[in-house]
Structure 1
Amino acid sequence: MVEQVRPAERTSNTGPWLALPLLLLGYLWVFWPSLARMESIWRHSETYMHAYLILPISLWLVWRQREQWLGLAPKTTLLPAIAAFPFAILWLLAYAIDVNFVSQFAAIFFLQLLLWAVLGHRLMRILWFPVAFLVFLVPFGEAANPILQNITADMVVYLLRLVDFPIFREGLYIYTPSAVFEVAVACSGLNFLLTSLVLSCLYSYLHYRHWYKAIAFIALTLALSIIANGIRAFLLVVIGEKSNLAYGFGADHYYYGWLVFFIVIMLAFWLGAKFADDEVPAVSASHLAKSSKASKIAWVALLLLSLTMLAVGASSRSMQQTEVPEQPAQLLAVDQSIAERSSWGIQFYDGLTRDHWLSEDGVELFVASYAHRQQRGDMITWHNTLYRIDQWSITTQQDYGSRLDGYRVLQLSSPGGQRRSMLYWYQLGEYRTSNRIVMKLLQLQALLRGQNDPAYVVALSLSGHYSMDESQQRLLQAKEQQLTGLLP
């Protein structure tokens, strides 16, 4: 039973309670662009729709523990307020160059540290998980898709060969006697993996007191999720093959997937319940009351948080943005109707200029330019793609040159047996790189130096069956003939 605290302690430090709503309003004013972008991703991606439940679950967990914290006055502390400052700066820099992944994490980490600073150590010992749980608001994990796709393909091939099913695999394509199946991005199982991670963390918090049990349960659930996704893909291939694709690839595609996921999660919870600990005892108020009394340092922390948000918010709203035309301009007076006939599918939206043409020797060239910070669009973003991801799969890739003066060559294949080679890089001034992170850092450096020269994405592609050396040679030759004098 929770010990009651004295009325004097309950009301002795109401300042932080009064300051918290004002600080949260300031937080929304500063970080709203990142929060709105996160919500947009939840709304448009099935992978992250579970994020709508994160905040309600956190609030429910706080209310569930109300007997432990209602009698406690917050004791604001300075250390988390100091730790929040670099995350505010990180958010500002990432926001300046539209690196959403970094800016969104920085925004959530700042919120968590803000709550810690205002509520203090005593309350955070009680509410640490509801606050930490907010990290799942951030859409993350897409970088794991290629790894998960290959794991899924490996499992499908292994299971099919285990039952003597005649198949042939090329990259992410699996050929059977009557059909070709692709382990696409949607088949990677990332949505299952992230949902499993969220549920297993919540389950561990509610049922385990020992950290090693929690870690073991989370690891088990994630492993079962990956295995379940491989089994799901295997079953879909078998069903599709046996039914001549009449079943397994319509609306029932999702029903089968979530049915397998539900069974796996129930299995994990059943196993986890066998090792659950007794209910965690409530932390008494008398034990927590041993913390030091509030002092002027608390107000220093509140002032530091307020000034940080004011400065960052004012800086973010003073950043200049380049206006972009409704349709990017064309630098070259050549026939650019190739985009309508090509199977390449390269697509870069918005931007300042965009040219796509075909050389006399059959090489397609694409050049687009972007400002470092635009009112609409960005060069490196999720919906700008170097090829049609629903048609082409990478079979081979190779980087050439250095990190700041290099390019990448890809060899692509399609389910119909078509082949395409591609060479590309991003360019800013004298620097050329195929690394998206390096390019973003170069843009940030240019912004900080006040440089306004645009950045470019340059790509060349050749259709046909060529070796890596042959395709590289032909593409480089076209580069020298077509791009000399066009780029800085």
Structure 2
Amino acid sequence: MMALPSHWRRPLAVLVVAWLALAALYYPTGAAMVEIWNRSETFAHAWVVPPLSVWLVWRLRGELAVLVPQSSPMWLVALLPLGALWLLGDLASANAATQFALVGMGVVLVPAVLGSPIASRVMFPLGFLFFAVPFGDFLTPWLVERTADFTVLAVRATGIPVFREGTQFVIPTGSWSVVQACSGIRYLMASVMVGTLFAYLNYQSNRKRWAFVGVSVVTPLVANWLRAYMIVMLGHLSGNRLAVGVDHIIYGWVFFGIIMLAMFMMGARWADPDPVQRTTTVPEQGARVNGSRWAPLTWVAALVLLAVPALWRMHTAEVIDHAQAPVLQPAKLAGWQWQPVPLTGWEPHYVNPAARLHGHWVADADGATVGLYVGYYRHQTYGRQLVTSVNRLVNDEEFTPWAQTSSGVTNLGDQAWRTAELRGQALSQVSGDGSGALRLRALHVYWVGGRYFVSDWQAKLYGAWQQFLGHGDDAAAVVVYANKATVGPDDRLLRDFLRQHGAMLEQQLQATRAAAGRASQ
């Protein structure tokens, strides 16, 4: 076992201290990342990323031992945008932004403390660390749609009639649904991580490496589509005795494992021979200390730049332990009577709002009904924020008697609203005339600091900017909905309702914001 060269001891100790300081200053960010590794099967592979990065560096220990660590102050500049990214992400409660910034700061410390020549030798192991960031959930809806597209197309090509609605479809032997667990995001994340590592270890040409990474992206997508088709066909041909329940998960992983094994076996056929090890010598003492005059100043500056964003955030964060929760009251609308019970058994899936209002109005004139849901968020933090991948109209990760069958965006004057159609799947969720499953039409939008958004990232950024300006983080999900049989063409009932009473709803949200602000002072 190689002993640590003397000229490496102090710089390496400084790097370890800097990493420990980074971990201490940004502990909540790191803890949130580890929590996702623990609870999400999609990102369970991230547990092996740090050990693999260490092993990749260890493989290069012979080459690194003879290099002279020399601090590179120019790399300190990179800590400024990374700190700003972390601060913006923390204000917006955006896990991906804070976690990418955290890993980025840890990576930048290497060239800042040890120097660019050393960092260039370990560039891949450092970059590989970014696979530890749980990122990519935003692809899930797109992957679900593409899986449903391929499965329905393939089943029809087989000669089986299919009726499709959204991501659900019916064939003569039963009904199927493509949910988030069928998206293939787990396969994709694991394949890209392992494929990138395989390409680095087996190829010397960057062209070959990028080509194999591309294969590792395309292969799990196609494999997941074939897996979904195979499961439907197994169920169909076996009279729904095979590939149902937990069986289809087992079959899916077995099929995916076979495909991945074939991919790596094929890739190994074009592997390059290992490079010839370089002959190096230990530098002279004078070279070891050359350029070290500015090192202590660089080390101190790095620690200061690391601390500024975290300490600034600690100083400006609101004290919310004893803050009073906002109280939502329905607006008083002329010609409508408020009923404090939901219009149906459906409720939007918004997690941990600070306050919630769900009921419906009944028109005095004709008895028309319009449902309203408001999930109000204040003092947002991780697990209690408005814009997140788990907040949606229907939670398809668990069994629910409701499904969202369509979505879109429409303009109401100069304001955009999201549209959605929902269908009750349980026998209890039937239309009033007994003709079939109850269907709802919904218009929904984000209300953030007095402005409306249909875009997730725009709502996130504006909320972070409001916090940065000291205006608070009040935000809400606003959903108006009605029975599809009563809304008329082009959602006329909901549109007319919002044109007439949208200003009153806005005033009520503003009043809630003002009252909660006064109570917290």
Cα 1:87–1:39 shift into 2, 3 Å: same
Q: CA deviation at 1:31?
A: 1.8
CA contact (8 A) 2:79 2:306 kept: no
Q: What amino acid is the match of 2:169?
A: I
* Residue identity in the other structure for 1:337: V
Deviates more, 1:290-299 or 1:124-133: 290-299
Deviations 1:73-95 (A, max 9, x none): 42221222211221012101211
Whether the aligned pair in 1 keeps the contact of 2:404 and 2:422 (CA below 8 Å) is: yes
Matched, 1:293 2:314: no
**Greater Cα offset, 224-233 or 461-470:** 461-470
User: Does the residue aligned with 1:379 lie in a helix, a strand or coil?
Assistant: coil
- Aligned counterpart, 1:223: 218
Match of residue 493, structure 2, among 468, 474, 486: 474
Whether 1:407 and 2:427 are equivalent positions in the alignment is no
Is 1:486 equivalent to 2:508 in the alignment?
yes
Q: 1:466–1:157: structure 2 CA closer, same or farther, 3 Å change rule? A: farther
If the length of structure 2 is used for normalisation, what is the TM-score? Answer: 0.84
For 1:96-175, list aligned pairs within 5 A. Answer: 96-175=91-170
Change in Cα spacing, 1:231 to 1:311, as seen in structure 2 (3 Å) is same
Identify the match of residue 449 of structure 1 among 438, 451, 469: 469
Give the direction of change, closer, same or farther, for the CA distance of 1:453–1:92 in structure 2 (3 Å limit): closer
Shift in CA distance, 167/376, structure 1 to aligned 2, threshold 3 Å: closer
CA distance in 2, matches of 1:263, 1:470: 49
Whole-Å Cα distance in 2 between the matches of residues 465 and 272 of structure 1? 56
Aligned equivalents of 1:430, 1:329: Cα separation in 2: 17
Of the candidates 44, 53, 77, which is equivalent to residue 49 of structure 1? 44
The worse-fitting range, judged by mean Cα deviation, of 73-82 and 278-287 is 278-287
- Aligned position for 2:340: 336
Q: Which residue of 1 aligns with 2:78?
A: 83
Once the two structures are superposed, the pairs formed by residues 212-251 of structure 1 within 5 Å of their partners are 212-251=207-246
Change (3 A) 1:415 1:239: farther
In structure 2, what residue type is equivalent to 1:359? W
Residue 291 of structure 1 and its aligned partner are, at CA, apart by 10
SS in 2 for 1:296: coil
Summarize the Cα distance change of 1:269–1:443 in structure 2 as closer, same or farther, 3 Å threshold. same
CA distance, structure 2, for counterparts of residue 61 and residue 322 of structure 1: 44
Mean alpha-carbon deviation: is it higher for 101-110 or for 447-456? Answer: 447-456
Q: Is 1:317 aligned to residue 314 of structure 2?
A: yes
- Which residue is 1:364 aligned to? 371
Partner Cα separation in structure 2 for residue 283 and residue 165 of structure 1: 62
Partner residue of 1:66? 61
| TM-score, normalising length: structure 1 | 0.89
Whether the 8 Å CA contact 2:137–2:389 is kept in 1: the answer is no
Alpha carbons 1:423, 1:461 under 8 Å: kept: yes
Quickly say closer, same or farther: Cα 1:453–1:156, change in 2 above 3 A. closer
RMSD: 2.9
CA contact (8 A) 2:464 2:473 kept: no
Which residue number in structure 1 is paired with residue 441 of structure 2? 421
Query: What secondary structure, in the 3-state scheme, does the structure 2 residue paired with 1:302 have?
Result: helix
- 1:119, distance to aligned residue in structure 2 (A): 2.3
Q: Which stretch of the first structure deviates more once superposed, 134-143 or 165-174?
A: 165-174
Instruction: Indicate conservation of the 8 Å contact 2:487/2:493, yes or no.
Output: no
Q: How far did residue 365 of structure 1 move?
A: 0.1
Partner Cα separation in structure 2 for residue 156 and residue 326 of structure 1: 50
Aligned residues: 478
Q: Distance in 1 between matches of 2:282 and 2:268?
A: 30
Q: Are the counterparts in 1 of residues 66 and 282 from structure 2 also a CA contact under 8 Å?
A: no
Looking at structure 2, the residues matched to 237 and 288 of structure 1 have their Cα atoms a distance apart, in angstroms, of 65
| Deviates further, 177-186 or 195-204 | 177-186
The 1:59/1:328 distance shift into structure 2, 3 A limit, reads same
Aligned residues of 1:359 and 1:478 also touching (Cα < 8 A): no
3-state secondary structure, aligned to 1:276: coil
SS of aligned partner of 1:392? strand
Structure 2 residues not aligned, in runs of 5+: 332-337, 363-367, 427-436, 511-521
**Within 5 A, what are the aligned runs for 1:248-267?**
248-267=243-262
**What is the CA-CA distance between 1:109 and the residue it aligns to?**
1.2
The answer to which of 16-25 and 192-201 deviates more is 16-25
Instruction: Give the distance between the partners of 2:484 and 2:138, measured in 1 at CA.
Output: 29
